[in-house]
Structure 1
Amino acid sequence: MQISTILATKGSTVVTVTPDQTIREAVVLLVDKHIGAAVVIDGAGHPVGIISERDIMRLLAQNDHALSEPVSRVMTRNVTIARPGDDTRVVSKTMTVGRFRHLPVMDHGELVGIISIGDVVKAQLDEYEGEIETLQTRVEKG
């Protein structure tokens, strides 16, 4: 299954913040949207990073007054991305090895979505269940 299939199901809405927004603003956005990460974009709308709840927790563990700091202080800068044509098995391995919970999806330089490890696992389970049903039908028909 391809990442484009996941995006077709979940949608392509991407919550974004800018590097100069405060961490407090990012936290409010994550809480309001019930999400675990936001893509950090520059003035032209290009991704320059990602900020996750884990990034924020690490910073707050060091400095409990950090909520007024800019997102740029804590964001992950060298972001690994997925593409719509990528296979979920490859992306799953990338996310597991890199310990990423979220990956922005880029297509020809444009941000077209974001996926979570939960999205990928669900898609793989759905795919495997379909394969199992097909095999069971073949066995039953003999």
Structure 2
Amino acid sequence: MSTVGDLLKTKGSQVLTTYEDNLIADTVAVLVEHNIGSLIVMDHEHHIVGIITERDIMRVSHRKGPDFGKTKVGEVMTPRDDLVVGLLEDTVDYIMQVMTQNKIRHVPIIDKERLLGMLSIGDVVKARLDAVQTENHYLRDYLGDKYPA
């Protein structure tokens, strides 16, 4: 069974971050430029303090109206205490289950508070699809007598 560590080896471990005192407008620009849906929020000592997602930005834009971009990231982010994280040894199936149960689309991968990577629901679905296609291929070969009995 595939682990988060296996998936990060394939996907890569680059994670874009922002700071809690950055403005939402600047954060939106980074999300759009990189076509991503979340950023890990760090303090200036490089500790993880939260995550900011598209949903967080939608909520603040609805509450504050046109001036929402002047809001600081730290005012809207999901704080570290509420952050759902994964570990390298977690299975991809487990992360998919966690995402589904918590209705989230991004899970930072950490080890002892060190940020190792980020998985999106797209990464997890692709990994599962690849595994199912590989299994299907081997089953078809087996049923087609390509393996000796």
TM-score bracket for this pair, using the shorter chain length: over 0.9
Correspondent of 1:83 among 84, 87, 95: 87
The CA distance in 1 between the partners of 2:83 and 2:3, in whole Å, is 20
The aligned residue for residue 5 of structure 1 is 6
Alignment of 1:52-91 (within 5 A): 52-64=53-65, 65-77=67-79, 78-91=82-95
The CA distance in 2 between the partners of 1:20 and 1:66, in whole Å, is 14
Q: What's the offset of the Cα at 1:109?
A: 2.4
Give the letter for the 2:78 counterpart: T
The aligned residue for residue 131 of structure 2 is 127
CA contact (8 A) 2:4 2:89 kept: yes
Alignment of 1:36-47 (within 5 A): 36-47=37-48
The CA distance in 2 between the partners of 1:44 and 1:138, in whole Å, is 55
RMSD across aligned C-alpha pairs, in angstroms? Answer: 1.1
Where do 5+ consecutive residues of structure 2 fail to align? none
**Moved segments of 4+, more than 3 Å:** none
The CA distance in 2 between the partners of 1:84 and 1:44, in whole Å, is 24
Q: What's the offset of the Cα at 1:31?
A: 1.0
Q: How many residues align?
A: 142
Q: TM-score of the superposition, structure 1-length normalised?
A: 0.95
Q: TM-score of the superposition, structure 2-length normalised?
A: 0.91
Q: Is 1:34 the equivalent of 2:38?
A: no
Q: What's the offset of the Cα at 1:87?
A: 0.4
